[in-house]
Homo-oligomer: A and B are copies of this chain.
């Protein structure tokens, strides 16, 4: 049993190294075009597509936003974000794969005009485990959870909270109807990740949406300055 398991891990690690090389190439292409990429990771139904739709409205004319939608099957989310104002969108159907990989993003970029974009949201497959260590070339790894899913998600899925650049708690309009210990949630995120800002939003009421949009704009600005320094 153990020999087989080790073999699988070795191959998984080799794939991860290859993935990171592709991810580095993707990131170079994004930076050459001045596009900030945000990898959104969440379990099923936490509100990834709703968050992107709200960000599109909040950013309005301030940023040209593209979206890559990752799903096992279907294209309903791509239709949703285009209707919500995305400048462009590409659907990736993973055909059963539980996470996106960098080569999928590389292929999706062929269908996007990066010179016409400032910001790219990448909606990962709904899964709080498997996408964690697959770099896609993103600048920001955004971990999204819903209050109605409980305050114990950092305890149960610690790795994604530990490696994320920003944590977003969605569905705060439902907190009064569910058992959610706010202090416990914040403390357990902080125990895993001292630096990531925590935003609290409701994609239904719009609460907190502008603050998150402003933070993303600041990341874009900071990255733009980095681009300029690098190209001097």
Could you list which residues of chain A lie within 8 angstroms of chain B, going by C-beta atoms? 1, 4, 7-8, 11-12, 14-15, 18, 43-46, 71-74, 76, 96, 98, 103, 125-130, 145-146, 148-150, 152-153, 155-159, 171, 173-174, 177-179, 204
Q: Is the CB of A71 within 8 A of B11?
A: no
Contact B156 A127 (CB under 8 A): no
- Residue in contact with A146 in the complex, picked from B8, B45, B155, B157, CB distance below 8 Å: B45
- A76 partner residues in chain B, CB cutoff 8 A: 152, 155-156
- The interface residues of chain B lying within 8 Å CB-to-CB of A11 are 7-8, 11
A18 to B8, CA, bound (A): 13
Complex Cα spacing A8 to B159, Å: 24
Please, how many angstroms separate the alpha-carbon atoms of A103 and B4 in the complex?
A: 13
Q: How many copies does the complex hold?
A: 2
Min CB gap A16→B, angstroms: 12
Taking a contact as CB atoms closer than 8 A, the residue among B73, B153, B158 that contacts A45 in the complex is: B153
Candidates B12, B45, B72, B125; contact of A149 at CB < 8 Å: B45
9 residue pairs from A and B, CB less than 8 Å apart:
A4-B18, A44-B128, A44-B149, A72-B157, A72-B159, A127-B128, A130-B130, A148-B148, A174-B174
Q: Are B127 and A98 in contact (CB under 8 A)?
A: yes
What residues of B have a CB within 8 angstroms of the CB of A158 in the complex? 72-73
A45 near B125 (CB under 8 angstroms)?
no
